[in-house]
Structures are given as C-alpha cells and as structure tokens.
Amino acid sequence: MELHKIDFEKKGLNSLVGKLESDIMDSLWEKKKATCREVFDAVDKKNDVAYTTITVTMDRMHSKGLIERKIHKGKGGLIYTYSPKYSRMELSEEVSDKFVSFLKDTFGSSSVAYLRKKLK
C-alpha cells in the first residue's frame, strides 16, 4: 500500500487520502465488491464528479494497493469488479504500523518509548 502523506488537520481516512478516495472506500466497505458504475451511483450523490473521474481514481487506488480488481467477461466485454484490499481495522493497523516504523527509523527508540508513555 502506498501512502506518502498524513494530513494531521483532518480525521480518519481523510487524513490519508482525498475526499473522493475516502468516499470510494466507504462505498466499497459498505458493498464489499462493486463495479465502477455501482460506486459512481453511490458516490455521485455526495460529489459532483464524472463517471470517468471515478474510473480513473479507482484505477489509481488499485495501483496504490488500496483496492483489488477482478476481471470478468460480460455481455458487452470485460467487467471490472473492485473490492477493498483492507477492512477498516486492517487499514488502521497497517497505517499505524507504518507510522510507528517511520518514527522509530527517523527518531530512534526514544520515540517508541514516548508513544508507550502517552498511550498508558
């Protein structure tokens, strides 16, 4: 999973990805698996975005390792079905693990000791 920044001004998933990506993840967590059209239908209610914006964003999220994609043959050609790669809890644990590793690698073991002290 590629996450390169954390916005400490925002909360939850919005601190890691943009609003549209966050809304797409919420839709996929709710549906478990969906096509771009199904995600568009759910997300377009909150965002005024084009269908192509959803498809491009979901392709990028797949490249980042946030969502998985399966290809099926359908009547009109290939159908792409997407699902979240991580549950909400797994994503939280993955991000926490990367963050703690970053702190330890950057600031040494004293940063981990400080975290332990703050979390007691």
Q: Domain-by-domain residue ranges, the chain?
A: 9-85, 87-120
**Would you say residue 27 has pLDDT above 80?**
yes
* Long-range Cβ contacts of 53-61 (<8 Å, 24+ apart): 53/20, 54/20, 54/24, 57/20, 57/21, 57/24, 58/24, 58/82, 61/21, 61/24, 61/25
Among 18, 26, 19, smallest CA distance to 42 is for: 26
Q: Is the pLDDT of residue 10 over 90?
A: no
Q: What is the pLDDT of residues 89-118, one digit of tens each?
A: 998 888 888 888 888 899 988 888 888 898
Class of the CATH domain delimited by 9-85: mainly alpha
**pLDDT score for 3:** 67
